[in-house]
């Protein structure tokens, strides 16, 4: 499988090498003048003119814009390969997590038991707190009754 991918990558690399270069001349003309409004050819800086590239009359070439472009295709290739490798690593990691979770289901039950125990402890704490609050409210109510009705204070 790896060999097949290598052959595909090398063939695409050689096709890309013949179609694209680091330097090119790009002319953009209005759509009504040409079948294709963008023309790209590999010529020198001196020959990057509409006349040399498209072979149009001088009056028609006035509406076209030609630029000589230089770019680093090797850097572009390295960045694309790096991004593809990162994506492949993430996909392999996700598959590994799926396989790992498939083979380790008992950890979930142990963890759920621990969570269940924590919930029980919290409910016990809340019950104790609720009973303490109820006792405090009863005590306050008794004090009110004694102070306002009997005019006596509790000690």
pLDDT confidence of residue 9: 65
How many whole angstroms separate alpha carbon 31 and alpha carbon 8? 36
Q: Which helix (H) or strand (E) holds 68?
A: strand 65-70
The residue with tokens 């038991």 is 113
Among 17-21, 86-90, 99-103, 147-151, top mean pLDDT goes to: 86-90
How many whole angstroms separate alpha carbon 77 and alpha carbon 18? 14
Average pLDDT over residues 97-112: 68
Query: pLDDT band for position 93 (50/70/90)?
Result: very high
pLDDT confidence of residue 101: 79
Q: List pLDDT tens digits, range 27-83.
A: 888 877 667 778 888 888 888 888 887 777 777 788 888 899 888 888 889 999 999
Among 107-116, 125-134, 145-154, top mean pLDDT goes to: 125-134
Residue 61, judged by CB atoms within 10 A of its CB (0-12, 13-18, 19+), counts as buried
pLDDT confidence of residue 152: 62
């Amino acid at each position: 499988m790896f060999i097949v991918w290598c052959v595909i990558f090398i063939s695409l690399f050689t096709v890309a090498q013949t179609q694209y270069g680091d330097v090119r001349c790009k002319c953009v003309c209005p759509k009504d003048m040409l079948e294709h409004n963008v023309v790209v050819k590999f010529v020198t800086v001196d020959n990057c003119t509409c006349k040399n590239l498209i072979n149009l009359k001088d009056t028609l070439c006035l509406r076209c814009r030609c630029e000589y472009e230089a770019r680093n295709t090797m850097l572009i290739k390295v960045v694309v390969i790096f991004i593809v490798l990162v994506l492949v690593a993430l996909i392999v990691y996700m598959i590994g997590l799926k396989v790992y979770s498939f083979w380790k289901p008992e950890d979930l039950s142990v963890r759920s038991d621990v969570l269940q125990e924590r919930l029980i402890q919290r409910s016990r704490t809340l019950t104790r707190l609720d009973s303490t609050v109820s006792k405090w409210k009863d005590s306050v109510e008794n004090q009110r009754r004694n102070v306002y009705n009997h005019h006596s204070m509790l000690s």
